[in-house]
Every structure is written in C-alpha cells, then in structure tokens.
Amino acid sequence: MGERYTLVCDEPEELKRKVIELAAAVRRAKHLVIYTGAGISTAASIPDYRGPNGVWTLLQKGRSLRATDLSEAEPTLTHMGIACLHKHSLVQHVVSQNCDGLHLRSGLPRAAISELHGNMYIEVCTSCTPNREYVRVFDVTERTALHRHHTGRLCHKCGAQLRDTIVHFGEKGTLREPLNWEAATEAASKADVILCLGSSLKVLKKYPRLWCMSKPPSRRPKLYIVNLQWTPKDDMAALKLHGKCDDVMRLLLEELGLEIPCYDRTKDPIFSLAIPLSPDEEGSHSRRPVAPPWSLEEMQMQEQQREPASQLSLSHSGGWFGRGCAKGSKRKKSKLTL
C-alpha cells in the first residue's frame, strides 16, 4: 500500500517521449477535456492534499499546518498553458476540483470551466432567482465550514444572507454555478480524450458521469494521466506520465508549437468581475485581498513590515482550505454520487 504514495519521476528522455505521444493525441482529439486537481497549484505555493507534504497527509500524521496566504497565489504555468490550449481550440472544457479560482484568473472563459467544488472568490444569493452571484477579490470563506456556508454578508438586491460556493468532503454540490455540472457532464459525454493533471482521482472517480462508464470500453474516451503518484485510474490510462504538471505542460506546448503566455495581473479577469463591498460591509472580513496591479509596489512595502506567518492548525480555523480531514477522528464513508 505504501508504494501507492511513493513519488515516481520519469527520466527526462522518457518524459519527453511520452509528451510527444501526448501531443499527438491532443492534435488528433476532436473533443479534449481536462480534469485538474490540487497538483497544478503547488507551483503557486498552495499545498496539495495527498502528496508527501499535502494537507491531509500532514494532518493524519498529527502535524499542524502553516498558514497559507492564498491571496498571493497566481496562476501557474499549467493554468496559463491550459488557457492557451483552449484559446487555440485544442481543449473544449476544463473540469476542476480546485477552489482556488486560478483557472478563472488565468483568463479561461467561465463557460469553459466547471469548478465542481466551488470557488473561494465567489459568494451567492440563493434567494434570488436566478441565483445572484458576487465575485470578490478576497477569500469569502473566512466564516464558513462544513455544513455552515453563510459568509456574513447580505445580498444587495433582496437582503438575504449570502453563502459560499464550496463543496466540502461529504457534501453534495447543488449550486448551478460555479460548479457547472451540466457542462461537465456534457463535455464528458462528448470527450474522445481526457487529460488528468495533478489529481489523485480518488474523489473524481466517484463521479460516474465523468467517466462514461455506461459506454462500452471501446467507445470510452482515451485517458492520459499526469501525476507523480499512483491513481485508481492508472490501469485504464492509455498513457501515464510521471512528471510535474508544469514540466509536462511546458514540453507539451513546445511540442505543439505554442507559446505559453505569462500571467499578467493587469489582465486578470477577477478585477473586472468583482463586485465591490458596500460601505457597511468593509469590516465583514479580515482576509487579504488580491493586490490590484496598480498597487503591487505598495503591497510589497506592506509585506516587508508584516510579521512572519505563525503556525496554526487549520482544524480550528474557518474557511475551505484544509477542510475534510479531521485529525484523529473517524468518519463514516460518504457517498459522493452526483
């Protein structure tokens, strides 16, 4: 069992050979869908969950976690590469388990993303029909947790309480957006190739509609997996690439003759999508906002004056990050059929 958690790295020449094979599959694909997990955000200093230093791994070992300021995270090379592939019509849809909002901030169109577990920058009013959405420039989940989703702010139109969009482990996602299950299901049904990047697939495997299991094996999409560890779908994969997501994406786009754009904060969609807080809401959170491009220098000066982040156990803090694995507790298995 321990071998499943061992990191395996392909030798450079072997990885290059596999990427050439992957590039050929991308070129041939008529409907390519990408599934992403926490592994694509580790380069943005956001820990994954099941890696050697992952959130659940450390909590299960009884170790505390260092506070992570997610507002400082920026889309990684992999995020920008995926957006580039979509721009060139090589990827039709992206299904993500991540709540960090980095796909949205990479410039990937919202219609092309299904954020199955929510987005930390989005809160919604479910009393309005259709639901009224509020995109913010800060993590809205400070006061929320498992089965407790109210953010403490009110809808500007009807006055009802706003809720976050996070789907915690054991919960069933019911919001239409940003989960976008309808588009995810449609994309999976049309897919002839699925590329899994940085996901252990231990949760995604429990969503039957994503794997076309009702189709005969010969008609199911070809599966390509990029992960340093074992996944439960490895035996079904046409190809398994043992490499870091950024390394694979860099080689892939080079093979395809595409240039990966650098993240440009002046073009980050979050600033144009964000709805400002009303004056009486200014004190409703203490989370640091994403620094707008015109104040980066000022924010850097403030950072130099800040004290180093102290350690805290996320099992006693609010918010989505690190939730789902209570240290030393036993839980009944939850069905995640959607």
- How many whole angstroms separate alpha carbon 325 and alpha carbon 338? 21
Query: Catalytic: which of 79, 86, 117, 285?
Result: 117
- How many whole angstroms separate alpha carbon 74 and alpha carbon 273? 17
> What amino acid occupies position 228?
L
Q: 49 CB contacts (<8 Å, ≥6 apart)?
A: 38, 55, 56, 57, 200, 325
- How many whole angstroms separate alpha carbon 282 and alpha carbon 136? 12
Tell which residue, 124, 116, 208, 197, has the closest CA to residue 158. Answer: 124
242 an active-site residue?
no
- How many whole angstroms separate alpha carbon 84 and alpha carbon 135? 24
What positions carry a catalytic annotation?
117
